[in-house]
Amino acid sequence: HPHSRPRHPRTRTMVPLLLLLLATAHGLEKIQYKPELAVSNLEGRTTASTFVLEQPRCIFKNYSDTEIWLVVAIPSAIPDFNNSLAPGSPERAFQKFPESAHAYMTLGTTFMNYPCNRTPGEITVLRVGSETSCAKDMSRPTCNGPLPGPGPYQVKFLAFNSLTVPLAETEWSEPITLRTGSAAGTLMKSRHSAGMIALTSILSILLAILLAILVAMLVSCGSDTCGSSGTFSKPDMVSVQRYNTHHVYDQPAAQL
Ligand SMILES: *[C@@H]1O[C@H](CO)[C@@H](O)[C@H](O)[C@H]1NC(C)=O
Ligand SMILES: *[C@@H]1O[C@H](CO)[C@@H](O)[C@H](O)[C@H]1NC(C)=O
């Protein structure tokens, strides 16, 4: 058929588009799973800029061909959250979080890394905020950089297919607040002591200057320089003294 031949390239380009439309029409599946902070009693489950989550093991078993991303958002971004924004897009860049990007996506990985069967001794947690090297690197918008403040933050996992169409999502976690108490305390303490150190050093410098001036005055007065500077007063005093002594001793002599 001459008619069917030109149709082939067209259908080839139509297939991904159709798949995309189908996926969007089908919508996102909501998986009944809420991401949680690591249950093991790890030291530093939350720090001032990181927190540790349980891996979403086995959660995406019906989506084994997808790429699973962690979404970190500020709570105000959740009501009208746009799941269609792809990981690495400017609106989801770590470097712009939380000012112009109200959420970022990081730790993208395949289902293979979140398998159902657990081998003993295996790490089954994720540390969010552990990558400092890319925190300011705009070319790495999916950086797992240190969190910019105490939060609170809410997280979920979102699975995208190869066309970066979201297929499945978990629920949002409870708000996660990072540690501030001790960190702020030590900061204030160190600021306080820094101020004290500055004040003490200024005072001691002032005292040293005063002492130096005093010493300089004493030294210069003991040497000839003080004498030369006092040329106007010393001879006068001497002459007055001489005059006085002369006068005082002269008069009784004259009277006698
Ligand atoms: C996975 O898919 C199977 C069949 O397609 C279904 O019975 C099951 O409920 C699904 N599991 C989840 C967690 O969605
Ligand atoms: C969500 O993001 C996609 C991709 O950028 C965009 O096409 C769509 O309009 C956005 N939806 C809303 C409701 O903002």
Q: Which of 1-10, 23-32, 144-153, 241-250 has the highest mean pLDDT?
A: 144-153
pLDDT tens, position by position, 47-106: 999 999 999 999 999 999 999 999 999 999 999 999 999 999 999 999 999 999 999 999
How high does pLDDT run on average in the chain? 79
Task: Answer yes or no: is the C-beta of 241 below 6 A from any ligand 2 atom.
Answer: no
Per-residue pLDDT, 223 = 60
**Residue 20 in contact with residue 165, Cβ under 8 Å?**
yes
Q: For residue 48, how many C-alpha atoms fall within 13 Å in the half-sphere facing its CB?
A: 8
**Residue 129 in contact with residue 147, Cβ under 8 Å?**
yes
pTM: 0.64
Say if residue 17's pLDDT is above 50.
yes
Q: Which residues sit opposite 128 in a β-bridge?
A: 51
Ligand nearest, relative to CA of residue 32 = 1
Task: Answer yes or no: is the C-beta of 82 below 6 A from any ligand 2 atom.
Answer: yes
pLDDT classification of 152: cutoffs 50, 70, 90? very high
Say if residue 250's pLDDT is above 80.
no
- Identify the CA nearest to 159 among candidates 69, 52, 54: 69
Residue 93 alpha carbon to ligand 2 centre in Å: 16
pLDDT tens, position by position, 225-238: 554 444 444 444 44
Say if residue 194's pLDDT is above 90.
no
Burial of 54 from C-beta contacts in 10 A (0-12 / 13-18 / 19+): middle
Task: Answer yes or no: is the C-beta of 85 below 6 A from any ligand 2 atom.
Answer: yes
pLDDT classification of 208: cutoffs 50, 70, 90? confident
Per-residue pLDDT, 246 = 47
